[in-house]
Chain A
Amino acid sequence: NAGVTQTPKFRILKIGQSMTLQCTQDMNHNYMYWYRQDPGMGLKLIYYSVGAGITDKGEVPNGYNVSRSTTEDFPLRLELAAPSQTSVYFCASRRGGTTDTQYFGPGTRLTVL
């Protein structure tokens, strides 16, 4: 049981390039989340999904897109990368009861130059 896995661990992009951050969970969780973490700013929600085919925006969705075609996978797409997207990105999942715990992946550190 690997939990939540993310790839790549590190990536450097040039301004205007695009990329997809991968997230996979093997716990059969319904809910999945994408956060970004900037120094001293805490975790900010980008997008979340309550199940395959259903996604919704979080606090900071601009410049990002997501899809959820399977229960396991929740990729985050960056189009036209900008320096403001330099951050550490975390994917998380939870089963989906009334209140339950989120489990986080190890993160992807992205630098846009």
Chain B
Amino acid sequence: EDQVTQSPEALRLQEGESSSLNCSYTVSGLRGLFWYRQDPGKGPEFLFTLYSAGEEKEKERLKATLTKKESFLHITAPKPEDSATYLCAVQAGGSGTYKYIFGTGTRLKVLA
């Protein structure tokens, strides 16, 4: 069964304290792995797409990496405005229609 697991469930960091969020997955035929940011009361906002093992992408203080079994979202010197829930999703399956499997997210709180 296709599955996505995110850890930790919640993370509290001091401003400037770097850390990583994990997304492990079990899917048949990974087509893409997606990271989203979700602020309270809002819809998920797209951050990154990773397609193959070894790929890395960066945006400001965020860097996403991908292996054959997991993805990491590295946060370098976070600021309070980085506080949000970070969601991971995978797109898997054969040709035709594609579905997305979401993890339950990591709630990040960055303290000033």
Distance, CA A104 to CA B44, complexed state (A): 6
Instruction: State which size class the interface on A falls in.
Output: 20 to 34
Instruction: State which size class the interface on B falls in.
Output: 20 to 34
Interface segment, B13-21, B60-68, B75-83, B100-108?
A: B100-108
Interface string of A92-113 (1 = CB under 8 A from B): 1000001111111111000000
Residue B42 at the A interface, CB < 8 A?
Answer: yes
Tally of A-B Cβ pairs under 8 angstroms: 56
Distance, CA A105 to CA B87, complexed state (A): 15
Interface string of A70-101 (1 = CB under 8 A from B): 00000000000000000000101000001111
B52 to chain A, nearest CB (A): 11
Q: Which residues of B contact A (CB under 8 A)?
A: 4, 9, 31-32, 34, 36, 41-46, 49, 51, 87, 89, 91, 97-100, 102-105
